[in-house]
Amino acid sequence: MSDISIYVTSDLTSSERKVSPQWSLKYFQERLELITGIPVKFQTIQLYAISNSDKFDVLIDSSTPEAYKANTDVSSLGLKPFCRINVEDSNPDSDLKDLIDSEVKGFEMTEEEYQKRNNTVLKWKQDNKLGRFNPDAVQEKQQRSQEDAQAVETMKVGDRCRVMRIQGERRGTIRFIGEISQLDDGYWVGIEFDEPAGKNNGSIGDQSFFQCKPKHGSFVRPAKVEVGDYPELDLFSDDEEL
């Protein structure tokens, strides 16, 4: 099963992430803890099928965790591409709650004051060397950008291509090359796959970048795309036939 992109939010964080339907729920919640700072045992997870909707379903309730023991992996949660997962903190003594002052209207804190505090998400990320505080993150991003820029020079819309995965190769045709505001900075390649091995129909949210059948489209980093003479695979051929 292919990874899917979802939005992860909490009272203090908001970001787009990729998740695998094959992850165990335990691993999924551990990843959510790294993103939001909310410990697994205090996570109440809400699913918004439409990211900007005010209607949600409770997937995991920290007050009654035994009710969710039947769910063994992420696929059991029914997540869809670009849905929103909101993580609530049920710990009444949580340090993170000190950062939320909904009762004080007009409360403001300068950047300097915020950086001096020890119970902030910023401090937590600094201590754990996450995100921009990872000493290797900047160098890795620069290297990836260079590799993507070089790869883009060798391809054009209409080229046949393939993308290698652990499960095998996926072949298709390039339908889009460019930057996408909804995704990370840099170039992306929109591919129409020959088989329903993609994640979308060429759209992200309400914006269409190219058109294809559902689950035949995906957006891939250029460095992961190989351009060449890759005809459509015959799925019914006998690999052992000489």
Render pLDDT for 128-140 as a digit per residue (tens, 0 to 9). 776 667 777 667 7
Question: Comparing C-alpha atoms, which of 97, 82, 111, 108 is closest to residue 11?
Answer: 97
Poorest-pLDDT segment among 17-31, 68-82, 220-234:
68-82
Q: Is the pTM of this model over 0.75?
A: no
Positions of CATH 3.10.20.90 in the chain: 4-97
Fold of 150-227: SH3 type barrels. (2.30.30)
The DSSP call for residue 98 is G
Positions of CATH 2.30.30.190 in the chain: 150-227
In tens, the pLDDT along 195-204 reads: 988 889 999 8
For residues 31 and 37, give the distance between their C-alpha atoms in angstroms, rounded to a whole number.
Answer: 10
In tens, the pLDDT along 128-172 reads: 776 667 777 667 778 888 899 899 999 999 999 999 876 678 999
Q: With a cut of 50, say whether residue 241 has pLDDT above it.
A: no
For residues 100 and 96, give the distance between their C-alpha atoms in angstroms, rounded to a whole number.
Answer: 7
Please state, in angstroms and as integers, the Cα–Cα distance from residue 22 to each residue in 78, 91, 133, 174, following that order: 12, 29, 29, 28
Tokens of 156: 């054009």
In tens, the pLDDT along 36-87 reads: 889 988 899 999 887 666 788 888 887 765 545 545 788 888 888 888 999 9
Fold of 4-97: Ubiquitin-like (UB roll) (3.10.20)
